[in-house]
Chain A
Amino acid sequence: MPLLEIENLKTYFYGDDTVVKAVDGISYNIEEGETVALVGESGCGKSVSSLSILGLIPSPPGRIVDGEVRFRDTDLLQLQPSDMRRYRSRRIAMVFQEPMSSLNPVINIETQLTEGMITQLGLTNRQAKDRALELLETVGISDPERRLAQFPHEFSGGMRQRVMIAIALSCEPDLIIADEPTTSLDVTIQAQILDLMQTLTRDRGMALLLITHNLGVVARYVERINIMYAGRIIEHGSSTDIFEKPSHPYTVGLLNSIPRIDRDTRSSLDPIPGQPPDLAHLPDGCHFAERCRNRIDRCTREYPQTIQVEPRHTSTCWVANEIHSNTAQPTPLMPKGELKGV
């Protein structure tokens, strides 16, 4: 049984006379202790989908209109706010994109790190502080005693993200959702933070959902990948499948637009033309049709069905099988461990 199972989740934002379908019927799951990625361009709804899991959508204007989010057989969407509170950080913890603004500027690190444990685990102040010291050390912050008394503005961006990770780990959750955890950090720090998150969650048997716009970054960290486009998941498969046998034109486009060591260095990068569609005015048919090189007539009329191209590898495209057989040429194995995001 999966740890988390999301089914047909729909989160819409209601404007004055428009409805923005930020998340429009997505389904995926995460097994215990597994690392999964949710990949898509900014604005495709991936952050909204993760905030929906914990009921953190700003409402109004946002509203979850349909779907189920089952965490070990409990539908989180049916919970009363007071029951939902118990799941936050105790079962599912989050690490946000902006370490600069995600910590409260007027509260010291100690309080921000311990308050969750005190509320959720019922620790005393003393116990919580001891654990906080441990945690800071775990995430690689030296001199934790002094650091605890400091305020966020005394930390660098990378250091703040380490604090955020410590907060996420503090209540021993079963799942950590990291929403673009490294996007706003320096490239050199990015790998450090991702390595840290991977090691820590693996050691503790925690599942990790990594949300990113950068397919290259996640390559070496995750077991399975969900590709999201315009509010829906359009391809899902194991990391190897996605990289070696992409079966959706969008995924192919994403892979072509990142530099790869296993490719001929002389071949130029190939960005996807055009812009993602306006989520308030989605086209009929496939959302990607307008930008797609493999478009056929049917694509602009009907939204494609999800096709299983291999066991545990699906693509929502009318020509998925053709793309799959085209890309599934024998190529050198994906060089795990050397591929890094740029």
Chain B
Amino acid sequence: MRDYIIRRVLLLIPNLFILATLTFFLARVLPGDVALGLVAEDGSVIDQEAVQVIRERLGLNDPMPVQYARWMLQLLQGDLGKSDVSDLSVVHVVAETAEVTFLLAILSVIIGAAMAIPFGILSAMMRGRWPDQVIRTFSAVFLALPNFWLGILLLLALVTWFSWSPPIFQETFLDAPVKQFQRLILPAVAIGTSFAAVATRLTRSTMLEVLNQDYIRTARAKGLFPNRVIIRHALPNAVLPIITLSALLFAGLLNGAVVLERIFALPGMGVEIVTATSERDFQLLQGLVLVLGAFVMVWMLLIDLVYVALDKRIQLE
């Protein structure tokens, strides 16, 4: 058990190394670089000399291995560098934008789980009867709706009928929780419903699996009340796999966040990544992607460890 945890945590090191390498090359495969954009911003004709000056300053003229080594060294010192465009520290940008993205993701998970878990359980218990059919049909439909399209429609409806448009402000969640919640709730509903569509099926199949187990038959043979069989005997066995499997969907959830932030004009990491990509702001892009990837990795590791710690049945080598 302890060995397993140590092993998993140690594996994080090569994973992060590969992630850092990948983000570096992900940025470098982009055609062109930031210098052209920076110069053109002044409105002047592209001045080759100025371009060279900027490239020299940002180290973009160095050979690729040198740039790579610099990036890795910088990371080893715990420094994400500065944005090539704005000269702001990347850590600062991440700090400013992460809140919106993660709040959005968490809110989506809560909304999704609040729908998925009860409906999935109900669906499994009523297998083959009409509530099951209805729930399965709905989850199949919502699975097919692109969540960004759902977002557009929600926005469209509000703008048309209530003349509402997404508020733009700078306060953080702690300063203005209600305001923040208001602007996040709609995109979260859009992401949450598609998350719920997957999670409902997951909950249903896990629950069905559990209800098929011998110990459920034992519980029924004891003459327990059906409620107790479900709540005390089936649910505790289903909850852990449901949570674990749902947690693995988190990376996919961030996909939705990237697009929904754009639609609802939210100042999150997704929008920042799109901007950094189009401006060829390598340092910023690398930093943002690295943080996002590392977060998902650590998250999945934690979920895995919690699962192992809680599930008494798992026998590790």
Contacts and interface: CB of A to CB of B under 8 A. Distances in A.
Given A60-B128, A96-B214, A119 B219 contact: no
Nearest to A59: B128
B221 A104 contact: no
Given A151-B312, A153-B313, A56 B223 contact: no
Interface stretch (B28-36, B140-148, B225-233, B284-292): B225-233
A120 B222 CA distance: 8
Interface in A66-120: 81, 85-90, 93-94, 96, 98, 101-107, 111, 115-116, 119-120
A102 B224 contact: no
B292 to A, nearest CB: 35
Most chain A C-beta atoms within 10 Å of own C-beta, residue among B128, B213, B217, B228: B217
B215 interface: yes
Given A104-B233, A105-B215, A107-B236, A153 B221 contact: no
B215 A56 contact: no
Contact of B222 (A81, A88, A106): A88
Most chain A C-beta atoms within 10 Å of own C-beta, residue among B128, B223, B232, B236: B223
B218 interface: yes
A200 interface: no
A167 B220 CA distance: 13
B171 to A, nearest CB: 44
A116 B312 contact: no
Contacts of B313: 105, 153
A103 B223 contact: no
B220 A56 contact: yes
Nearest to A98: B214
B237 interface: yes
B312 A102 contact: no
B227 to A, nearest CB: 11
Contacts of A153: 312-313
Contact of B223 (A58, A98, A119): A119
Contacts of B233: 104, 107
B218 A96 contact: yes
Contact of A102 (B127, B217, B232): B217
A87 B221 contact: no
A280 to B, nearest CB: 20
A194 interface: no
Contact of B217 (A89, A96, A116, A151): A96
A119 B222 contact: yes
A81 B226 CA distance: 10
Contacts of B220: 56, 88
Nearest to A177: B221
A153 B313 CA distance: 7
A3 interface: no
B215 A103 contact: yes
Interface of B: 127-128, 212-215, 217-226, 228, 232-233, 236-237, 312-313
5 contacts: A89-B221, A96-B214, A104-B233, A105-B237, A119-B225
